[in-house]
Chain A
Amino acid sequence: MSNQPPQNNTPGHAPAGSLLTATDLRKTYGTTAALDGAHFSIHPGEVVAVMGPSGSGKSTLLHCLAGIVTPDSGTLTYDGRDLSAMSDRERSALRRSEFGFVFQFGQLVPELTCVENVALPLRLAGTPRKDAERTALSWMERLEVDDLGPKRPGEVSGGQGQRVAVARALACGPRVLFADEPTGALDSLNGERVMQLLTEAARSTNAAVVLVTHEARVAAYSDREIVVRDGTSRDVSMEFTR
Chain B
Amino acid sequence: MSIGHTLLGLLEAGPRHGYDLKRAFDEKFGHDRPLHYGQVYSTMSRLLKNGLVEVDGTESGAGPERKRYAITDAGITDVEQWLAEPEKPEPYLQSTLYTKVVLALLTGRSADTLLDTQRAEHLRLMRILTDRKRGGDLADQLICDHALFHLEADLRWLELTAARLDRLATEIRR
Contact = CB atoms under 8 A, between A and B. Distances in A.
Do A and B assemble together? yes
Interface of A: 1, 53, 196, 215-217, 219-223, 225, 227, 229
A229 B151 CA distance: 21
Interface stretch (B6-14, B57-65, B118-126): B118-126
Given A196-B134, A225-B123, A227-B119, A217 B163 contact: no
A227 B158 CA distance: 13
Interface string B101-138: 00000000000000010011011001101100010000
Contacts of B148: 217, 220
B166 to A, nearest CB: 12
Given A216-B122, A225-B123, 5 more contacts: A196-B134, A217-B152, A220-B130, A220-B148, A223-B127
B55 interface: no
B159 interface: yes
Interface residues of B, number: 19
19 contacts: A1-B127, A53-B159, A53-B163, A216-B123, A216-B126, A216-B152, A216-B155, A217-B126, A217-B130, A217-B149, A217-B152, A219-B123, A220-B123, A220-B126, A220-B127, A221-B130, A223-B127, A227-B119, A229-B162
A235 to B, nearest CB: 13
A144 to B, nearest CB: 15
A221 B148 CA distance: 12
Nearest to A221: B130
Contacts of A227: 116, 119
Interface in B126-172: 126-127, 129-130, 134, 148-149, 151-152, 155-156, 159, 162-163
A223 B124 CA distance: 9
Nearest to A189: B145
Nearest to A215: B152
A222 B130 CA distance: 10
A225 B159 CA distance: 14
Contact of A216 (B116, B134, B151, B163): B151
| 6 closest A-B pairs by CB | A220-B126, A220-B130, A216-B155, A216-B152, A220-B127, A217-B152
Contacts of A220: 123, 126-127, 129-130, 148
Nearest to B160: A53
Nearest to A234: B116
A196 B159 CA distance: 25
B132 to A, nearest CB: 11
A220 B163 CA distance: 22
B110 to A, nearest CB: 13
Nearest to A200: B134
